[in-house]
Structure 1
Amino acid sequence: MYWSALYFIYYAAMAALSPYLPVYYRQLGLGGEQIGILTATIPLINLLSGPLWGWLADSYQQQKRVLVLSMLTVGVLGALLILPRSFIGLVVILVPLALFLSPLVPIMDSSVLQALGERREHYGRIRLWGAVGWGVCAPLAGRLAEQVGLQGLFVLFGVMMGVSSLLATRLSVRSTLVRPAGLEALSRFWADPRWRAFLFTAFTGGVLISVISNFLFLFLQDLGASQTLLGLNLTVATVSEVSILFVSSALLKRWHPQRLLMVGLILFSLRSLLYSFMTQPWMAMPIQLMHGVTYALMWVAGVSYAGVLAPPGLNATAQGLFSSAIMGVGMVVGSLVGGFLLARVGAIWMFRLVSGLGLLGAFILWRVRNHYDQDL
C-alpha cells in the first residue's frame, strides 16, 4: 500500500517537472544546442553518480536516510528552478538536482523487489501506480501551467517531493545500488558478442527515448499546441504504458525477450518517423498510444533479456549495464544529438534522422540471434 502510494506521488511529481523543462528553457530564450546540453545534464550526472551512491549506500547502510534526504533536496532544488534566467544559472541548479535524483528510483525499485521476495512477479502491479500518477498529474500540470505559468509547476514539484519524503520515512528501505563490478567481471560481459550487441541496441533505444521525451513538446508548441494538450499527450502515453506493464508477464511467457526487444525497437523507429509527418498538434495523440509498445515493451524486454544473458552471480551488474546503456549513455547522446539536429535541420528532420536507430538496433539483434541464439 505504502509503496504504491510512493510510486504514485513520485511519478506525479516528475510529470510536473521533466516534460516541461525543455519548454521552459525555450521560454527563457535558449537555443536548440543549449537546450540539448541542459537536457543531457541529468542523465549524464546520473550515469556518473550512480557508482558513488552505490558505494555510500552499501558502505554505511543508510539507504532510507539517503532516500528521504535526497527527496527533500530534489524538491527544494526543483522549486528553485523558478529563479535562474540564464544558461549558467540553470546549470548551477540542475547539476546538484541530478546528483540527488540519481539514487531515488534504484532504491525504490530494489527495495520493492526485496520486500516481495518470491513474489517478484507482482512488481509490475506495484510499479503501475507510478505510471498512473504520471498520467493523472500530466493534464493537471498542463492546465496549471496555462493558469500560473511554468514556474508554478516547479513549486508543485517541490511540494509533492516533500510529501514523498514524508511517506518514505514509513517504509522499509534497502539498498538498490550495487558497487561497480571490477574490470575482470566487466570483461566477461564484453567478451560475449551477445552482450556487445545488446548494449548497443539498448543505447539506440535510449537515444530515441531522449529525442522524443525532450523535443516532442517543442515541436508540438511550434504547431500551436496548448499546455493542456501537452499534458493530455502524456496521459495518452501513460494509458498505453500501463496496459503493457499489466500484461508484460504474459508477453514474456509467450515470446522470448529478445524478440520483444526487436519489436519494440522497430516500432520506436516508426513512432519517431510518424511524428515528422504531423501538421496539427492533435495528430500526436494517436501516435502517443505507441508509447506502451515502444518504451514500456523495450524496458521490460531489456530487463528480462539482461537477466537471461547475465553470467552466474552477476545479475545485478547486468541490470546496471543495461540501465546505464539506455538511460545513461543513450539519453545523454540523444539529448546532445537531438539539440544539435533541432538547431541545424529542424524538428521534422531530427525525428526522421533518428528514426533509423531503432531499425539498426533491431537488425543487430537479429544478426546475433542468427549466429548465437537460433533456437530462440
Structure 2
Amino acid sequence: MPYYWRLSGFYFFYFGLLGTLVPYWSLYLRDLGFNPAAIGTLMAIPQLTKIGAPNLWGWLADRSGQRLRIIRLGNFTAALVFLPVFWIDAFWSMAALLVAFSFFWNAVLAQFEVLTLQTLGRHAHRYSHVRLWGSVGFIAAVLVLGELLDRMSTSLLPWVLSAILWLLWLGTLTLPAGQATGHGTQKSAASPLWPLLKRPQVALFLLAAFLMQLSHGPYYTFYSIYLQDLGFSKFTVGCLWALGVLAEVGLFVVMHRLLQRYSMPAILIASLLLAALRWAVIGMVGDSLWWLAAAQLLHAATFGSFHAASIAWVQRQFGSALAGQGQALYSSLGYGAGWAAGAWLSGKYWHIFGAQLFYAAALAALLAALIMIAGRLNHAS
C-alpha cells in the first residue's frame, strides 16, 4: 500500500490527541471549577461546530481540488488558536477558544478520510489497516496520561494537547496529495448533492448516524467523572478507555473481511444493537469493574464497525465528485450535531438522573437500529 506509514502516522497523532482530550478534558474542566452544566456545554462546542465547519471545508475542498492544503491550513490554525488555553479559566473565554479551535480543527479529519481513500486507490478495502493506527495512538495517550495524571495535576493536559497539535501539523507536510478528482464547478454542477439527500436510504442513514452519536453523549462527557466518583483511579479510567479502543483495533484488523462477507447495512444495524446493549450494561452495573470492562469491549462495534462501514457506505453513495461533501455531511450530522446534542443534554440532566442517562442512550441507539432496518426494507422494496 502506497504511503502506508505517512497516512498511519497522521491517524496515530490525530487520535492520540483525542485520547488526551476525550477522556480527560472533562476532568480538567471540573478542576477549573466548572459545574456539570458548564462542562456539558463546553464539551458540546467542538462537536457543535462540526455541524457547519466540515461542510464548508468539504465544499471548498471539492470545488478547489486543494484538499491537502486545506488539511494543512486547518491543522496549523487550530494549533495556533489553541495557544491561549494556558491563561484561560473563565467560561466564556474557554467557550470562545473552543469555538475558534474546533472550527479549524474540523477542517481536518473528513478531508483526510477522503485523501486516505484516494491515496490507497485500488487498496481502499485496506482502509481499516491504516485507520487502526489511530486507535493505537488513542490507547497510548489514555494509558500514559492516566498514569501521569495520578501523579500530576490535570494542568498538564493543555501542554500535551498543544505539543500533539504541532507534531500533527509537521506530519501533514509529509502527506501525499491524493488523486485529483477535478476542479469543482463543473463536477459540482454535474453531481448536485440534493438529489442524493432525497434518497430515503441516505436520509435514514444520516438520521441513524445522528442518533448513534447522540447516544454517546453521557459516555464521552461524563464517563470519566462517573468512574472517578465511584472511586476508580485515573489510571484505571485510562485502562478502561484503552480497553475499548484495543477492541476497536482488533475489529479494524478483520474489518475488510467483514465488509466482503456482510452488507454494509447489516454491519451498521448490528453495531447499533450492540451499542444499545453497551449503554444498558454501563447504566446497570457501573460499580463492577468486570462488567465495565465487558461493556468497553463493545466499543469494537459502537465505534469501530459502525465508523468503518459508514465511511465505506458514504464513499459508495456519494462517489468521488462529492466525496468530500459526503464525508463532511456524515461527520457534521453524526459527530457534530449528534455528539453535541448528546453532550449538552447530558450536562443539563446529569445532576438529576446521573448514570440513569445511559438507559436513555440505549433507547436512542435502539431507535437508530430500527431506522436503519426501515431504510433497508425501503431500499429492498
Say which of 51, 69, 75 aligns to 1:47.
Answer: 51
Residue 5 of structure 1 and its aligned partner are, at CA, apart by 2.0
What amino acid is the match of 1:119?
H
* 2:247 corresponds to which of 235, 240, 244: 240
Name 1:194's counterpart in structure 2. 201
In structure 2, what is the equivalent of residue 125 of structure 1? 129
Q: Which amino acid aligns with 1:235?
A: A
Q: How does 1:96-111 map to 2 (within 5 A)?
A: 96-111=100-115
Matches of 1:345 and 1:66, distance apart in 2: 42
Helix, strand or coil: the match of 1:144? Answer: helix
How far 1:60 sits from its partner (Å)? 6.0
* Residue aligning to 1:300: 308
Please give the alpha-carbon distance, in whole angstroms, between the structure 1 residues aligned to 2:339 and 2:105: 15
Amino acid in the other structure paired with 1:51: N
SS at match of 2:284: coil
Residue 158 of structure 2 corresponds to residue 158 of structure 1: no
Change (3 A) 1:113 1:189: closer
**Which letter maps to 2:283?**
S
Listed as ranges, the gaps of 5+ residues in structure 2 are none
Are the structure 2 counterparts of residues 85 and 311 from structure 1 closer, same or farther at C-alpha, using a change threshold of 3 Å?
closer
Moved more, 304-313 or 362-371: 304-313
* Residue identity matched to 1:372: H
1:291 aligns with 2:291: no
Match of 2:340 in 1: 332
Secondary structure of 2:79's aligned partner: helix
For residues 238-277 of structure 1, the aligned pairs below 5 Å read: 238-277=245-284
**TM-score, reference length from structure 1:** 0.89
Q: Report the counterpart of residue 27 of structure 1 in structure 2.
A: 31
Q: Which amino acid aligns with 1:156?
A: V
Residues 178 and 238 from structure 1, CA distance in 2 versus in 1: closer, same or farther, beyond 3 angstroms?
farther
Matched, 1:169 2:173: yes
Question: Displacement of 1:251 after TM fit?
Answer: 0.8
Change (3 A) 1:78 1:282: farther
- 2:361 is the counterpart of 1:361: no
Cα distance 1:169–1:273, how it changes in 2: closer, same or farther (>3 A)?
A: same
SS in 2 for 1:264: helix
Residue of structure 2 in register with 1:320 after alignment: 328
One-letter identity of the residue aligned with 1:271: R
Select between 56-65 and 76-85 the one with higher mean Cα deviation: 56-65
Report the Cα distance in structure 2 between the residues aligned to 1:65 and 1:312, rounded to whole angstroms: 18
TM-score normalized with structure 2 length: 0.88
CA distance in 1, matches of 2:84, 2:285: 35
Structure 1's 9 and 186: CA in aligned 2 closer, same or farther, altered over 3 A? closer
- Partners of 2:242 and 2:350 lie apart in 1 by 25
2: CA distance, partners of 1:2 / 1:313: 25
- How many residues of Structure 1 are paired with residues of Structure 2 in the alignment? 372
Distance 1:317 1:60 in 2: 12
> 1:275 aligns to what SS in structure 2?
helix
Shift in CA distance, 150/76, structure 1 to aligned 2, threshold 3 Å: farther
Percent identical: 25
| Structure 1 counterpart of 2:111, one-letter code | I
- Pair 110,194 (structure 1): closer, same or farther in 2 beyond 3 Å: closer
CA distance in 1, matches of 2:329, 2:62: 18
The residue aligned with 1:228 is 235
Q: CA deviation at 1:342?
A: 0.7
Residue in 1 aligned with 2:93? 89
Shift of 1:77: 4.4
Structure 1 position 144, deviation (Å): 1.6
- Using the TM superposition, give the Cα deviation of residue 310 of structure 1 relative to its aligned residue in structure 2, in angstroms: 4.4
Aligned partners of 2:296, 2:370: CA distance in 1, in Å? 24
Q: Which amino acid aligns with 2:341?
A: V
Q: Which amino acid aligns with 1:42?
A: P
Whose relative contact order is higher, 1 or 2, with alpha carbons under 8 Å and at least 6 apart? 2
Q: Distance in 1 between matches of 2:193 and 2:65?
A: 25
Instruction: Give 3-state SS (helix, strand or coil) of 1:16's partner.
Output: helix
The 8 Å contact of residues 31 and 343 in structure 1, kept in 2 or not, is answered as: no
- Give the drift of 1:276: 0.9
Query: Residues of 2 paired with 1:170 and 1:243: CA distance?
Result: 28
C-alpha deviations, 1:143-180, integer Å up to 9, x for none?
12222211212201211221222222122235899899
- Find the aligned partners of 1:313 and 1:49 in 2 and give their Cα distance: 19
Q: Distance in 2 between matches of 1:12 and 1:256?
A: 31
Does the aligned pair in 2 maintain the 1:223–1:281 contact within 8 Å? no
Q: Shift of residue 99 of structure 1?
A: 1.3
Equivalent pair of 2:114/2:323 in contact (CA under 8 Å): no
Write the letter of the residue equivalent to 2:42: L
Aligned partner of residue 216 in structure 2, secondary structure: helix
Residues 178 and 159 from structure 1, CA distance in 2 versus in 1: closer, same or farther, beyond 3 angstroms?
A: farther
Cα drift, residue 26 of structure 1: 2.0
- Cα deviation for residue 70 of structure 1 reads 3.4
Instruction: Give the whole-Å Cα distance in 1 for the aligned partners of 2:67 and 2:197.
Output: 31
1:31 partner letter:
N
